[in-house]
Amino acid sequence: MAIAGLIVDANEVRSLTRDFVALKIRHFSPKMAGVSSLDFITAEVKGTQLLSLHRASSRNHRRQARRFLDELMTILEDHSVQVIGRVWIKQAGTPIDVRTRYGYAVQDFAKQFQLDLEQSDAEGIIVADSREHKLNVQVAHSVFTQKWRSGGDPYPRVGEVPLFAASDNHAGLQLADHVVTTLLFTIATAAYGLNFPNAVHTPEAYAQIRERYAPRLKPLVRWVKATDMIASRPSSLLLAT
C-alpha cells in the first residue's frame, strides 16, 4: 500500500498544469479525440494504465510508458515539486486497515507540509483526491482534531483541514496518482517485494523502473517512510541506488 502527496508552490500551478496537459496530448492523443482543448484536463491517464504499458509484451507500449514517465519526472523537476510519501509492505493475503492508515498518513503529510511552510515563511492548503464521502469526512476530521486540540494547533500554517476534489479537474492530483502508482509503488515492490506464483506485481517486473527513476526521484523527496511488515527493512532501502 502506498500514499503520496506533492508540495507545489502556488505560483507554479498554472504552468505545471499546462505542461502536464501537453504531456498527455503528446503521448495519449487518442484520448483527446473530439475533446475541446479546455476539456483536456478531464481526459485522465491513470497510473494503473501506465503500469499496464510498462508490463506489456509490446516494446512500443513499454517505450511509450518510459517516455511518458521520463517527461513526467522532468515536469516535477522543472517546477520544484516536492514529494512526500508513506509505504507499507505486507505479506500477500494479509489484511491491512486502509482507513486508519490513510488517516495517519494524512496527519504525517500535514506535519511535513507545516515544516515546509515554516521554512519558506508561507501558508498553504491540502487538496486531496476525493474518495467515498465517509472516508473523506474521517480523514478531514483526523486533522481537525489535531488543529483544534487544547494543546495548540500543530499545523498553524495549513489554513484548513484537507479539502477533497475530483482528480479529473486537477493536474496536481493526476500527477500525484502517477507518482504513487508508477513510482513509489513500483519502486517499493522492486526494493521490498517477494516473488509469488502468478503474481502480476513482482520485483523483477519493476526492477528497471527502480533503477531508472529512483536516482531522479530521491532529490525531490522531502519525506517518505516505509513500514516493512515482512522483514523490518529500513525506509532508506526504498530509494537506495
Taking each continuous run of H as one helix and of E as one strand, the counts in the chain are 8, 5
Sign of CA dihedral 27, 64, 19, 43: positive
Which residue type is seen at 15? S
From residue 100, alpha-carbon distances to 29, 96, 147, 152 in Å are 39, 9, 18, 23
Beta bridge partners of 6: 83
Virtual torsion, Cα 124, 129, 132, 133, nearest 10 deg: 20
**How far is 48 from 35, CA to CA, in rounded Å?**
22
Q: Which three cell numbers stand for residue 71?
A: 517527461
The per-residue pLDDT for 90 is 85
pLDDT tens, residue by residue, 121-180: 999 999 999 999 999 999 999 999 999 999 999 999 999 999 999 999 999 999 999 999
Residue 196's pLDDT is 62
| CA 183 to each of CA 3, 32, 87, 206: distance values in angstroms, whole numbers, following the listed order | 11, 25, 12, 9
- H or E segment to which residue 225 belongs: strand 221-228
pLDDT for the residue numbered 160: 96
Asked if 171 and 16 count as a contact pair (C-beta separation under 8 A), the reply is yes
Cα–Cα distance for residue pair 184/86, rounded to 1 Å: 9
Q: How far apart are CA 153 and CA 146, in angstroms?
A: 7
Amino acid in the structure at residue 125? I
Distance CA 82, CA 76 (A): 8
Low-confidence residues of the chain: pLDDT under 70:
195-199
Give the containing element (helix H, strand E) for 5.
Answer: strand 2-7
Q: What is the pLDDT of residue 197?
A: 54
Q: Give the closest residue to 224 by CA, choosing from 211, 213, 237, 215.
A: 237
pLDDT (0 to 100) of residue 198: 60
pTM above 0.85, yes or no: yes
